[in-house]
Amino acid sequence: MITIPLKVPDKLAARLLLLENRLPEIIELGLRQLEAQTDANAETDGSVSKSRVLAALGSTGIVTLPESAARLQPRTRHTPIQADGQPVSEIIIEGRGSL
C-alpha cells in the first residue's frame, strides 16, 4: 500500500476525517466517474451515459441500485369498491377527538 500526502482545504479535511475509513472507496468512485466522463467526452455528443454512471456507482458497493424495471411486475389497477356510510377520512378525524 502506498501513502499519498495530500493538501486539502480545512473544511474539506474536516468532512474527510469523518469518512476516513471509506476514503479508498470514495476515491475509486470518483475516479470511475471521471473516467466515464472522459470516455463520454470523446464521443460526439459529449454527454455522460446514464448506464455508465449507474454501473460505476453499483460496482463500488457504496450505492445499492434498485432492481431493473424490466424485472418488476407491472402494476394492475383494481376497480374501486363502492361502500355506503362515512368516508374513512371522516372516521379517522372523529377517532382523533378534539385537540
pLDDT band (50, 70, 90) for residue 85: confident
Q: The cell 449507474 sits on which residue?
A: 54
Give the integer Cα–Cα distance in Å for 69 and 99. 45
Instruction: Tell which residue, 19, 24, 18, 21, has the closest CA to residue 4.
Output: 24
Per-residue model confidence (pLDDT) at position 44: 46
- Region 69-76: mean pLDDT is 64
Q: Which three cell numbers stand for residue 21?
A: 475509513
Per-residue model confidence (pLDDT) at position 42: 59
Q: Is pLDDT above 50 for 48?
A: yes
- pLDDT tens-digit profile of 11-47? 888 888 888 888 888 888 888 888 877 766 655 455 5
